[in-house]
Amino acid sequence: MTEGNFVDYVKMHVTSGNGGKGSSHLHREKYIAKGGPDGGDGGRGGHVILRGNSNLWTLIHLKFKRHIRAGHGSHGSSGRSTGADGEDKYVDVPLGTVVRDSETDKILFEITEDGEERIVVEGGMGGRGNWHFKSSVNQTPRYAQPGIALEELDITLELKVLADVGLVGFPNAGKSTLLSVLTSAKPKIADYEFTTLKPNLGIVKYRDYQSFVMADIPGIIEGAAEGKGLGYYFLRHIERNSILLFLIPADAKDIVEQYEILEDELRRYNPEMLDKERLVVVSKSDMLDDELKSEISAILDKDLKANYLFISSVAQQGLTELKDTLWKMLND
């Protein structure tokens, strides 16, 4: 999936359907001069329904659909005939979609399961026909109920990426390169910071036709929890990942310090993020000889409060061990 095709934020106006009017018809037939009331009920207005679809990864199909309107219910008719219900409008969204009221910013619900359906705005009830109002004191009521009016709402759809493994690191740490080597994804890769501006997803193929999903999240900078850099734009995507894979380049001045800054940004954004499984990967380790690796390992063993691995995406070093470790963490 190219970066330009990844849309994770959409605003739209949704409108349900009016309920149909009840009929106030009086039955007339040859030899039956006064057949009494037989007006049917109006049909229900259509709902606007959001539906989870596991085949979708982005909201791009809704990018230019700013208005969603359901059908109106038909009016009731003679012979106690009920009007047809208005057409429901289904909007398919990827799993991990959060729905907010645009005016209040209140979260209405989240779609997390395939096939899950949630009504955003309900269609109006159809009005009752006049035969409902017949009584011993009013045997020919000449009135019926109107249908209930439609509902309107401005909503915001936010996608939080659902992935097994989320790559966390500073800009230019090698996250996109790792994703491109482990999966068939083709993220933008260049030798400058913030090459990745939107999350990229890829499927990592494992043994015996098994697989898991990895997400490359745009790079974190210090102060991201307060909105610096890309701020909340990418931090919310990490919330749904099962495992956080911290990527720190081997040429970093202080690997432990970089890890602690990243950890602190996640803590300040949402303390629950630190309850997730974590693994630290020292990338670009093909630059290190055995002696340097030993020195760095001694420091990490002493000061780093997490498991770690040395890898090189370019030189294809340590990738099998990385996949084995991630698979074990996911299935334990």
Pick the CATH number of 1-159 from 3.10.20.30, 2.70.210.12, 1.20.1250.20, 3.40.30.10: 2.70.210.12
Q: Please state, as a whole number, how many other Cβ atoms lie within 10 Å of the Cβ of residue 240.
A: 18
Residue partners of 186: CB distance under 8 A and separation at least 6: 2, 180
Q: Which helix (DSSP H) or strand (DSSP E) does residue 296 occupy? A: helix 290-303
pLDDT score for 29: 79
Residues of the chain with CATH 3.40.50.300: 165-331
pLDDT score for 224: 41
CB of 308 closer than 8 Å to CB of 276? no
Q: Tell me what the mean pLDDT of segment 267-278 comes to.
A: 83
The helix/strand/coil state of 239 is coil
What does pLDDT average to over the chain? 84
Task: Sort residue 284 into left (φ over 0), alpha (ψ -120 to 50) or beta.
Answer: left
Residues of the chain with CATH 2.70.210.12: 1-159
Q: β-strand 117-121 against 48-52: which pairing, if any? A: antiparallel
106, 6, 166, 50 alpha-carbon torsion, rounded to 10°: 40
Q: pLDDT tens across 159-217, in order?
A: 877 678 888 888 777 787 888 888 765 544 444 344 444 567 777 888 887 888 887 77
Q: pLDDT tens across 93-125, in order?
A: 988 899 999 999 999 999 989 999 999 999 999
CB of 276 closer than 8 Å to CB of 310? no
- Vertex 14 angle, CA 96 and 44, to 5°: 110
CB of 321 closer than 8 Å to CB of 309? yes
Burial of 329: CB neighbours in 10 Å, binned 0-12, 13-18, 19+:
middle
CATH 1.10.287.110 is the classification of domain 165-331: no
